[in-house]
Amino acid sequence: MTPHPTLAETVAEIERLYPMSWADDGDAIGLIVGDPADDVRRILFAIDPVQVVVDQAIATRADLIVVHHPLLYRAVHAVGANTPKGKVVHDLIRHEIALYVAHTNADSPRLGVSDAIANALGLDRVRPLAPALADPLDKIVTFVPEARVQPLVDALAAAGAGAVGDYDRCAFVGSGEGTFRPGPDAHPAIGGAGRVEVVAESRVEMVLPRSRREAVIEALREAHPYEEPAFDVLELAGWESDRGHGRVGDLAEPVSLREFADTVVATLPPNAIGARVAGNLDRQVRRVALAGGAGDFLMDEARVSGADVYLTSDLRHHPASELREHPDAPALIDVSHWAAEWMWLPVIEHALTAWLTEGGYTVATEVSRLCTDPWNHRASRSDA
Ligand SMILES: [Zn+2]
């Protein structure tokens, strides 16, 4: 076995952790630059696909950069090196460096961006602030002569049915009787035209991801002995998953807002922004709501969650001011977008390293500590 995984294998593992189907519609994620057949020897993790990060990859001879923010978010008609993004594309290809983006698909899951921030702050009972529904499931039910149950279960499982958590090939089988009368043009596996048949059959039930519905029905028609197999496809009701935007959790001991803000700043990597704080600094903080990235859109959820403070980035005057007018409003802490999301980088590095080690691969990894927040200085009045 080669000591290095291919880019295709590495991408497959990233997408197992952060499936692309979990991204917002229209997000610009996935493999942006790179040949899936190439080997991966050194991975650099960063938030922004900007020139200094590419320069770091070139200098450290990384051959894959995994970033959070998209490179080409809006449609472009050219990638000439006379634009900053075009130069990034050119430098990547020239130096045989692949670029992979995991953006909104990495925001919401366990081991995702908001989850990483919550864990870094030591929150307990962490749950999504706005839970997403679990991936939609169907159930397929069919009826098959008893002796053919196991081959049918095998065939449906191979097509994607029967996976439940860490188990696969899960099925429920019950016994009963099926009856039918073949028409004059039928070619029955059992019985003959015009004759009523009664057959000992088993009812087989298996769950499947809705996305696998067509493949599983095709496998059923293929593997079932009957000319016209009877089957039902049921859409299962949705329920909340452990995925979702933002997180809310509790500190082990309450602290003042002032102290909590200091802890946040000390936990995040160094940056010029520090934290903007809204609220009574002596207020006690126990429940913390948070969201990586621009968190305007979760303010109501933060308030309804009973949080004492909402930690996020890029808050604007009007939404913040309107929230503060509510008597039950949480305090606000607004930090560097880059720094907050950076907390995810060691998490994905750790998860990928575990997979690489398990596969017997040798790959060097590095988390970029270059601050790529666009704000690099905070001026304050000398008389303040
Ligand atoms: Zn972001």
Residue 280 in any domain: the answer is yes
* H helical segments located in 228-314: 257-267, 299-304
Predicted confidence (pLDDT) at residue 382 exceeds the cutoff of 80: no
CATH number of the structural domain spanning residue 326: 3.40.1390.30
Q: Are residues 225 and 354 in the same domain?
A: no
Token digits of residue 122? 């030591």
Cα(311) to centroid of ligand 1, in Å? Answer: 14
Cα(70) to centroid of ligand 1, in Å? Answer: 9
Q: Are 181 and 195 in contact (CB under 8 A)?
A: yes
Q: Are residues 141 and 126 in the same domain?
A: no
Average pLDDT over residues 263-282: 96
Element (H, E) at 209: strand 197-209
What is the model's pLDDT at position 140?
98
Q: How crowded is residue 176: how many other Cβ atoms within 10 Å of its Cβ?
A: 11
Q: Are residues 277 and 329 in the same domain?
A: yes
What is the model's pLDDT at position 241?
86
**CA separation (Å) from 111 to 121, 337, 345, 361?**
14, 18, 10, 22
Predicted confidence (pLDDT) at residue 61 exceeds the cutoff of 90: yes
Q: Which residue has the tokens 């028609």?
A: 221
Note down the domain range covering 306. 113-132+244-341
Token digits of residue 287? 């429940």
Q: Are residues 200 and 331 in the same domain?
A: no
Q: What DSSP line would sit under 133-164, residue for residue?
A: EPPPEEEEEEEEEGGGHHHHHHHHHHTT---B
What is the model's pLDDT at position 1?
56
Q: Are 220 and 155 in contact (CB under 8 A)?
A: yes
Residue-wise over 276-292: b if at least 16 C-beta within 10 A, else e?
A: ebbbeeeeebbbbbbbb
Q: Are residues 15 and 96 in the same domain?
A: yes
Residue of 241 and 66 predicted with greater confidence: 66
pLDDT bin (cut points 50, 70, 90) of residue 134 is: confident
pLDDT bin (cut points 50, 70, 90) of residue 384 is: low
Sequence-distant (6+) residues with CB within 8 A of 126 are 115, 118, 119, 247, 248, 249
One-letter amino acid at 230 equals A
Q: Are residues 226 and 301 in the same domain?
A: no
Cα(190) to centroid of ligand 1, in Å? Answer: 61
Q: Which of 95, 42, 90, 100 is nearest to 70 (CA)?
A: 100
Residue of 308 and 25 predicted with greater confidence: 308
Q: Are residues 269 and 315 in the same domain?
A: yes
Q: Are 346 and 298 in contact (CB under 8 A)?
A: no
Q: What is the pLDDT of residues 193-249, one digit of tens each?
A: 899 999 999 999 999 999 999 999 999 999 999 999 999 999 999 888 889 999 999
Number of domains in the chain: 3
Average pLDDT over residues 187-197: 90
Residue 66 in any domain: the answer is yes
Cα(69) to centroid of ligand 1, in Å? Answer: 6
Weakest-pLDDT range from 34-38, 42-46, 185-189, 251-255: 185-189
Residue 1 in any domain: the answer is no
Q: What is the pLDDT of residues 367-379, one digit of tens each?
A: 999 999 999 999 9
Cα(342) to centroid of ligand 1, in Å? Answer: 9
pLDDT bin (cut points 50, 70, 90) of residue 291 is: very high
From 235, 268, 294, give the residue that closes a domain.
235
Q: Are 208 and 235 in contact (CB under 8 A)?
A: no
Residue 378 in any domain: the answer is no
Q: Are residues 126 and 251 in the same domain?
A: yes
Cα(341) to centroid of ligand 1, in Å? Answer: 6
Predicted confidence (pLDDT) at residue 95 exceeds the cutoff of 80: yes
Q: Are residues 248 and 331 in the same domain?
A: yes
From 202, 235, 268, give the residue that closes a domain.
235
CA distance 280 to 69: 34
Q: Are residues 123 and 264 in the same domain?
A: yes
Three-point CA angle 34, 74, 10, nearest 5°: 25
CATH number of the structural domain spanning residue 153: 3.30.70.120
Give the rounded distance of the alpha carbon of 105 from its chain centre.
4
Q: Are residues 176 and 199 in the same domain?
A: yes
Residue 374 in any domain: the answer is no
CA distance 341 to 114: 8
Residue 379 in any domain: the answer is no
Residue 304 in any domain: the answer is yes
How many percent of the chain have pLDDT more than 70? 99
Q: Are residues 290 and 144 in the same domain?
A: no
Cα(293) to centroid of ligand 1, in Å? Answer: 4
Predicted confidence (pLDDT) at residue 118 exceeds the cutoff of 90: yes
Residue 372 in any domain: the answer is no
Cα(242) to centroid of ligand 1, in Å? Answer: 21
What is the model's pLDDT at position 42?
97
Sequence-distant (6+) residues with CB within 8 A of 345 are 45, 46, 47, 68, 367, 368
